[in-house]
Every structure is written in C-alpha cells, then in structure tokens.
Amino acid sequence: MNTEVTNAGVDASLNINPTLHFSALGLAQPILRAIADAGYTTPTPIQAKAIPLVLNGGDLLAGAQTGTGKTAGFTLPLLHLLHTKHQQAQAGKPRCLILTPTRELAAQVEESVKTYGKYLHLTSMVMFGGVNINPQTARLRKPLDILVATPGRLLDHVAQKNIDLSGVEFLVLDEADRMLDMGFVRDIKRILALLPKHRQNLLFSATFSNEIKALADSLLHNPGFVEVARRNTASEMVTQTVHLVKQANKTSLISYLIKTNDWKQVLIFTRTKHGANRLAEKLGKDGIPAAAIHGNKSQGARTKALADFKAGNIPVLVATDIAARGLDIDQLPQVVNFELPNMPEDYVHRIGRTGRAGASGAAVSLVDTEEMKYLKDIEKLIKREIPKVEVEGFVPPVRQEAEAPRPPKPQQQRRPQGAQQKTTQGQAQKQGQPKPKGNGKPLSEAARHQAKPQKPQFAPKGQVHHSGNRGR
C-alpha cells in the first residue's frame, strides 16, 4: 500500500476516483487513525473497490496482481466488522480465519492486522509449521479474534484439539491459486468442513485457473467480483527485458550488470537452492555483498537476510521461488531471473516483487538457449514478447569456471505439511520416484519448503456461478 498510487495497469471498468481517501470508505475512526499513522491517505484500486463490498457483508472473489495492496483490501474491512460487532473473545476460538500458503506471507498478513488494528481491542496470532508447536498451543489458551495460518499447521492443532473453528464468522483464502498449486486443496476442504455454514467468505487470487473457478463455485455465495489488471499478467509498471547468454557466463554477467549499473538493491531468483548459495558466494568473491534465502535455510537465517536486504546492509538477495510471494519490499527497483522458472505463472509472481502499488521497477531475465521454451511459455501467458537486449561492454571471460549443473527437471514432491502420507510413498520419493499429484503439476520450491520441518528460530512479533453450498 502506498501514499499515492496510479491506476496504470488497472482494469478500466473499475473507474476508481484518484482523489478518493480512506476516510470516504466508511471505516471506523480507530482504523483510520492507524492508517494515518502509517502515512497512507489514498487507497489502491483493489482497496477502493473491495473494502465497500466486504463492509456490505457479502462474499467476494477478488483478482489482483501481487503488490496491489490486496492485504489491506481485506484486513481493513474485516477489522471494522469485528470491531463494530464486538464480542468477547474466547480462548482457542477465532472469529476470523485467514489462510495463506506460506509462512512468510502468513507473518506478513498478521503484521498488517496488528498495524491497522493497533487501536482496536482485538487479538490476533499467526501459526505455521517448521517451528515449535508448543508456543502456539500456549497462545491458543488465551482469547483470540483473528487467526492467520497455513493449512498444514492449522490441521495439526485441530488434530490435537487445541482449536475450535465453530465460531468463525469470516474466512479469507489469500493467494488461493498458490495454495492449490502447492497441493493444499484437500487440506482446505478438511478445514472448510469444520467451519460454520453461515459466514462471510473472501477469496483472493493473482491468477484464475479452472481449479480456482471450481473452488470459488463451491465456496462463494452470490459473490461480488473485483479484478485489477488483466488475468495472469505482469504489472505494466515493470520494464521487462531479456539478455540471451550461455549458462556458464550468467554469473559473470550478473556481476557486470550490478557494478556497471550501480544497482543498490536487487533481488535475484534461481531455480535451485544450490544455485542460490553458489551465486551468493560468487558475488561475494566479486566484492558484491549478497545473501541467499531458500527452503534449506532456517527461518531465523531467512528473516535476518531479508531484514539486512530491506535495510540496505546488503545490495543483493538471491532467492528461490519460496520468496516469489510473501516478500513485501517497498520500492524494490530491480529483479533478475538468473534462470527462468519452470512454471510461467511463477515468472509473474517473481517480477511482481518490483513495480508494486504504482511504483516503477525493472525485471531482467538471463536466458540460455535451453530455456527458450520457458521464455515462449511466459510470453504466451503474459500476451507480449519480452524485448531481447544486448549488454553493451560485456565480454565473457576467456577462462571460465566449470559450468554449474543445469537446474533439474521438476519432480513430484511430498505433499505439504498436515497432509497424510503412506510410508511407501515417502520411501518411493527417497528413491527418486515421483509421487502423483492431483492436478498433475510439479510442486514449487515453496511447497517443498512448506513440507520440511525447521528449527524453531522465528517468532514473528465475469461473475462466478454459485451452487449455494457456502459451508462445504
């Protein structure tokens, strides 16, 4: 969310008044006070359209690119509704449930809840896997209004009878497309079965697949519909270019680009954890401080690396696709795809880390000849050809290091945490045999990360047809 935003790249049918202020949306004064403290005055298009619909009490299907301010689009009106319909909070029985696909996004959403609700007498907590469950269990023994959770860890608490979901009045599925991509559909259905039938449902998604349409059809009742920008498109505020380069020369080219352009803050995406570590080390040897974050890093290490990057202590953060969503970095100017992702949708989410909420940004992709198929898939998805640009002055080194192994082809992986698996399936995976997945798509790095336990080092402070089965 930004103090001033433009409507570039926004569906013209929204007709948002650029002079609209939050004070005109009908939010409670304590919320407006918190918004003012944060320095915000003008809502983004998704906020201006979604907030009144949520306040009216109906279900909502919202399509918005990452970086459009959608988190505030649902947290602000939900805080208002919980505040105006204030009830005594009960231990382990939340009134509002917000489901997110990843730990980073869950922590970010709960931070927004605390920021915008700091003058309200509402309580909240975040829960996700990979950390000690005991502090979460202890927190659930205290009154709770708003719960932000990943599906797997929530079901862990359900199994231990630590939580009662029968009092949920508001349900939010954030980044619903990513949750389905990560294999959470069964977990979501199990959670929905535990909720009361009469509740307000909000579904937010950056992309709309047939699976999302089916989920919306079963979940939402006469929903309002908001869409910002064309479906599955990259932000118009991001300048995209491609540099054609051999895999063996990519590291040298990255160093050259950073030094020549004097980039002060750049987020680089690789397709493998090993590749992220190797690139960060090589940049360090070239005199460019860099850190890597991926699924093998502890939550504490990832949090520190991200904090150092945001503070400007290190100019380069190298990440796998676990960071493609959930990273909220104000005014990030530059994103680089060291390798193109296997799934074209992930390209949209990667470059969505820049050009956020009306700011401009640039995304550069380094493409080897063997990645041209991925590039064609991306261009087909975003319905545009990405310009191929030569890098002036770059001379590949005569003596090259041994070429890094090419990123492996995507393989089926374990289901996310909380899903039941048979021992034989786990053994088959260890032997390299792919495990079948419902939609036939490979799991992303984020899904593999979600399934892997980690040390407890982080304690985060058109209209859709409906079936009428709201509680299923």
Residues 199 and 54: their CA atoms lie apart, in Å, by 12
| CATH code, residues 12-228 | 3.40.50.300
Q: The tokens 């920008």 sit on which residue?
A: 229
Is-same-fold flag (12-228; 238-382)? Answer: yes
What residue ranges do the domains of the chain occupy?
A: 12-228, 238-382
Look up residue 345 and give its two tokens: 């949708």
3-state secondary structure 47-85: HHHHHHHHHCCCCEEEEECCCCCHHHHHHHHHHHHHHHC
Contact between 217 and 468 (Cβ < 8 Å): no
For the chain, how long is the longest CA-to-CA vector?
A: 71
**Is the pLDDT higher at 271 or at 331?**
271
Residues 212 and 203: their CA atoms lie apart, in Å, by 9
Locate the DSSP E strands across 306-429.
Answer: 316-319, 334-337, 361-367
**Rounded to a whole number, what is the distance in angstroms from the first to the last CA of the chain?**
33
Residues 295 and 80: their CA atoms lie apart, in Å, by 36
Question: b vs e for 390-403, b when ≥16 Cβ sit within 10 Å of the residue's Cβ?
Answer: ebeeeeeeeeeeee
DSSP designation for 286: T
Average pLDDT, integer, range 247-267: 93
pLDDT tens digit string along 261-277? 999 999 999 988 899 99
Query: Is the model's pLDDT at 437 over the cut of 70?
Result: no
The fourth-level CATH superfamily of domain 238-382 is: P-loop containing nucleotide triphosphate hydrolases (3.40.50.300)
Query: Is the model's pLDDT at 355 over the cut of 80?
Result: no
Residues 335 and 239: their CA atoms lie apart, in Å, by 10
Q: What is the pLDDT of residue 174?
A: 92
Bridge pairing between strands 90-91 and 143-144: antiparallel
Contact between 59 and 201 (Cβ < 8 Å): yes
Q: Is 0.85 topped by the overall pTM?
A: no
Contact between 115 and 105 (Cβ < 8 Å): no
Query: Is the model's pLDDT at 32 over the cut of 90?
Result: yes
pLDDT tens digit string along 170-218? 999 998 888 887 788 899 999 999 999 999 999 998 777 778 888 888 8
pLDDT tens digit string along 40-94? 888 888 899 999 999 999 999 998 766 678 899 999 999 999 999 878 899 999 9
Question: b vs e for 145-166, b when ≥16 Cβ sit within 10 Å of the residue's Cβ?
Answer: bbbbbbbbbbbbbbeeebbbbe
